[in-house]
Amino acid sequence: MNVQTIVCDVCGNEKQCIPYEAETGDVICENCLQICYVVAMKDKKSNRYFSVGIKGTYEEGEILAKQLINDFGTFEDYKIEKIMMTKHFIEATTSGRTITEISPRELKKHLKDGGKSICLLDIREDFEVEKDLIPGAVHIPIQRIPARIHELDRKKEYIIICTAGYRALYICEFLQENGYKVKTLKGGMLGWKGLGFVVPLAVSTMKAASKLRGRKKDDLL
């Protein structure tokens, strides 16, 4: 690609450079880009890779991957992908802060009261959210977060959602280091559904199953 004159969608400046076009369509100048590494673990049972975290160097990614293989018997392999991340211009870092969590009941009450100060961010894989997604949640898979991080608003608090809460911890750490206010959903989607907070897709599936089996809706809900 040749040098072009562009207006960067991240910093807003007009520059002559070799532009980078994100999957969102944003055009980004080279000064607003940096390299990071997405760690994905291969699950023995499903034979699928699940992205679990984002690190600044390949070596940090490899340490995380080996640690997960050692700590969890469910993983048998890993891959580390180099991707481009949009830089954020922030002087202070929140690195080192304790990552807090919010319970499903607390989140349910907060959403019922309006929930204007928070944003739900579901970081699971595309095939995972086909099954369920909390109403109003924004879905950005882990491997796409670096390229889309400039879309997030530092004035809001993000509730990070995964399946059981483990992946959310790593992404909370990453987002905190980039100046975002975050919490994890305790127990993830398993915790949410375990308390009976059924998502719309699951409800429609239950209704369909109820009709096929000749059972009442109340028997399933």
Catalytic residues: 162
Unique residue bearing structure tokens 């989607």: 189
- Is 220 in contact with 198 (CB distance < 8 Å)? no
- Is 176 in contact with 182 (CB distance < 8 Å)? yes
- Is 52 in contact with 68 (CB distance < 8 Å)? yes
- Residue 139's alpha-carbon distances to 46, 133, 156, in angstroms, are 22, 8, 16
- Annotate 151-198 with DSSP letters as a single string: GS-TTSEEEEE-SSSHHHHHHHHHHHHTT-EEEEETTHHHHHHHTT--
Antiparallel, parallel or unpaired: β 33-43 and 75-86: antiparallel
User: What residues does 87 pair with on adjacent strands?
Assistant: none
Rg (alpha carbons) of the chain, rounded to whole number: 20
Q: What is the largest CA-CA distance in the chain?
A: 66
- Residue 184's alpha-carbon distances to 33, 34, 105, 188, in angstroms, are 27, 26, 13, 8
The two tokens of residue 14 are 């007009």
